[in-house]
Structure 1
Amino acid sequence: NDTVGVGAGIYGHESQDARLYFGDWGFDFIKIDYCGGDVLGLSEKERYTSIRNSIDKVNKDVSVNICRWAFPGTWAKDVATSWRISGDINAHWNSLKYVVGKNLYLSAYAGNGHYNDMDMMVIGFRNDSKVGGKELTPTEEEAHFGLWCIMSSPLLIGCNLENLPESSLELLTNKELIALNQDALGLQAYVVQHENEGYVLVKDIEQKRGNVRAVALYNPSDTVCSFSVSFASLEFGGKVKVRDLAKHTDLGSFSDSFEQTLPAHSAMFLRMEGDTRLEPTLYEAECAYLPLFDDLGKNPKGITYAHDKEASGKMKVKFLGGQSENYAEWREVYSEKGGRYQMTIHYSHGHQRQLEVAVNGTVTRIDRLANDDNHHQLSIPVELKAGYNVVRMGNSYNWAPDIDCFTLTKAL
C-alpha cells in the first residue's frame, strides 16, 4: 500500500520525458527498469517500443538499455542497443556465477551493435553496506572483469571511485582485456567446451574466421579445476601461440592442446594465434538463434536452452516446433569450398515427433524418429555453398525433438 512514486514513472509520460531528457538536457543514453510493469499487467514489447518511438521523435541516436531482469525477447534489438539478462548483481561470487550462467548461452543475440548486459560491475566494492558488506577477492575481480570483456557486456563501473583500490584500478584499465570488449567485430564469446565444472569460451577477434581468437577458461566452482583444451575444438591447426591477457605475458607456442589448472572462483583470458584456421565440424544447439526465445517465464513450454547431462556440452534446445516460426537457426555454418556433406543430427524425445531441416531454404522432412525419449542420432545428405550457410531445424505443425547438436562430414 505504498503510494510513494505512483504516477512518477515514465509510463504515460513517454513524450514529455523524451523531450526533457534528450532535447532539453541532451542526454544520449537511458536505462529503463520495468518496475511496476508486472503489477500493471503491461506488455514488455509494447511499452518499450512506445518509449523508443517517443525518443526517436527527439533524437534517433539515443542508446536505450532495457532492464527487464531477464532476456526480454528477440524484439529487443529493434528497440534497444543493450538489455539486461539477469536480476541485479551483488558483490559476492555466487551472484557473479548466477549472472554469467544466465549469459553463457546467449551469444546468438549479441552483435551488430547490440549487446547482452550483465549489469554494472561490482569491482572495487569494499565492505559497502549497500551490498551487505560483501567484496570480491582479487582473483574473483579478475574473473569478473575478464568475463564482462570477452562476453562483450557493456562496461559500467558501479563502485565509489573515491575509494577504488589501486589493484582494482589497474584491472579496470587493463588495455588487453578492454580490447576484447571493444573489438570491432563486437562478438560475444560462446561455450565451446563444458567438462566437469569448467567452461571454455571462444570468439573471433580482429577478423572473422581469421587465425586469432580470444579464449577464456572459466572455473565457477569452489574447488580447483583442470582444463585440457584441444586446439581442434577451437578450429586451430598447427602450432598455436598463447598470450595471457590479464598478466600481459606470452606463454609460448603449443601443439595439439593447451592445459591449465585454475583455482576456485577464477578465470584465465588468452589470445591465441594458430598457424591455420580449420573448418568447423560441430554445431551445438545452445549456440543457435531462437526467434521465439525469451527468459520471462510466461510460457511454460516456450522454446529454451536446457541442461541435459547426456547431451554434448550438457545442453540442448527443447520445446522446438509447433509452428513454423518456432525454429532453431545457425546462421554461420561454414564451408571453405562448398559441396556435399553428411549431416548427423543428435536428438532426444523423438516419440510421435517430426523434424524439418532447412539448409539455405532447401527443406528435408524427417518423419521416422526413434519412438522413445532417449538420445539418438540420424544422418542426412546436405549441400553447402562456399562460405556461410543457414541451417534451420523445427516443425511447422507438431513438436520437434529436442536438439543436442549436429556435425558435418565432407562426403567422399
Structure 2
Amino acid sequence: MTGTIRPRDAKELRQAVEWALGEGVTLDVRGEGSKVALGQPMRCDHVLDLSGVSGIVDYAPEELVVTLRAGTPLREVEALLAQRNQMLAFEPPDLGPLLGQAPGRGTLVGAVMGNLAGSRRLSAGAARDHLLGFSGVNGRGEAFKSGGRVMKNVTGYDLSKVLAGSWGTLAVLDEVSVKVLPAPDQTATLMLLGLEDAAAVRAMCAAMGSPHEVSGAAHLPGRTALRLEGVAPSVEARLKGLRELMADAGAKMEELGTLESRTFWREVRDVAPLNAAPDEIVWKISCPPTEGPATLGRIKAQRPTARAFYDWSGGLIWLALPPSTDADHTLVRGALGVTGGHATLIRAPEAVRAAVPVFQPQSAALVALAVRVKESFDPKTLFNPGRMG
C-alpha cells in the first residue's frame, strides 16, 4: 500500500472515494482495523481510515435509538449506553484478541458490516436486525441513504440486509442509526455439568423451546450453560422452572449469579476459550442445532486433537484445529453433509487464507446474484477487493 487517507467527515469521505475512482486505485476500508486479518488477503493501493469520522450524532434513550458516525469505537458506544442501563442486544463480539489484536478495539459499524452477533442471536436477532438506517458512499462515488432513526421505518429497499455481512466490499458508510434495548437488571446462568455433546444439545434445544425465555445456550466441554435475564423476581421464577425442566438431563446443576454470568457470556461471545493457542486454525461453523454433534464428530474422527465449543443452542460451532497449509477446509466443509450449513475460516495465516476459500463457497445462482449486487454498488471493485474471494 502506498498511503493512508483519513477523512474527517462525510464530505471528505465522499471526496476520497471520488478521487480513488478517478485515479483507478483501490481502497482498504478500515475502522480500527481489529478484523483486518479476517477474510482473504487484499492487495489495495491505499487504506481508507475511517477513525476520523467518529462521534455520537444523537442518542435518544427514550426512543431506544443511537446514531453515530462510522469510525466510532464500539467501546464508546457501549459505555454511553451503560450510563442509561441500555445495551446492544445482539452482543457484538470483540474478535480482536482472537485475531492477534489488543482487546477493546473495533467499531460498531465493523460489527454490522460483518453481521456479527453473540449468544443472544437466537432471541434478539443478528446485527442487521438492529440497523435502522444509514448513509454512505457507493463505489460509483454516489452518496446514498437508507432507512431512518425510527423503528417503524420501512421505506424503500431494505439495504441493511444487503450491506450487513458484506465486509465493506459494497459501500463505505459514514453514519448509522441502531436500535438499542434496556439492559437486564439481573442475569442468572444454570450450568449442567458433565453432559456429552449430543445430550447437551438436546438439553439446550429443550430449554430454548420452553416458556422460560432462555436468552443464551452454549456448551463447552463438561459445561452446558443456559442464560436467563430480566428483573429479579422473573429470573428467579424462571430459573426454578428451568431447573425442574432439566431434572431429567441427568446432570449435576450449578448456578452463576449476575457478575459471574456476565463474565462467562462475554468470554463465550469473544471466543475466549480458543485464544490459548494462537497458532491454531479457527473455524466458525453454522448448521442445524441437532446436527452439530454429528458434524463435529465427523471432524474429530479425522482430527482427534480438535478443540471446540457450541453456541446458539448447538447451531454455532467454534472449532480450533492444528496448523495446516489448507486449514483442513475440505474436511470441515465436507463434514456439514447433506443437512447444509456453512463454515467460515476466521483465523489462519495469510498464506493459508490466500490458498483456500475463507467464506463458504456459494451455488452458481447465488454467485450470479452476488455479482449483480456488486456491479450495482461497486462496479470498479474499489472497496476491499478480494476480501470475500
User: Is TM > 0.5 for Structure 1 vs Structure 2?
Assistant: no
**TM-score after normalising by structure 1:** 0.25
Higher relative contact order (CA 8 A, sep 6+): 2
**TM-score after normalising by structure 2:** 0.26
Between Structure 1 and Structure 2, the one with more helix by share is 2
Between Structure 1 and Structure 2, the one with more strand by share is 1
Report the structure number with the largest CA radius of gyration: 1
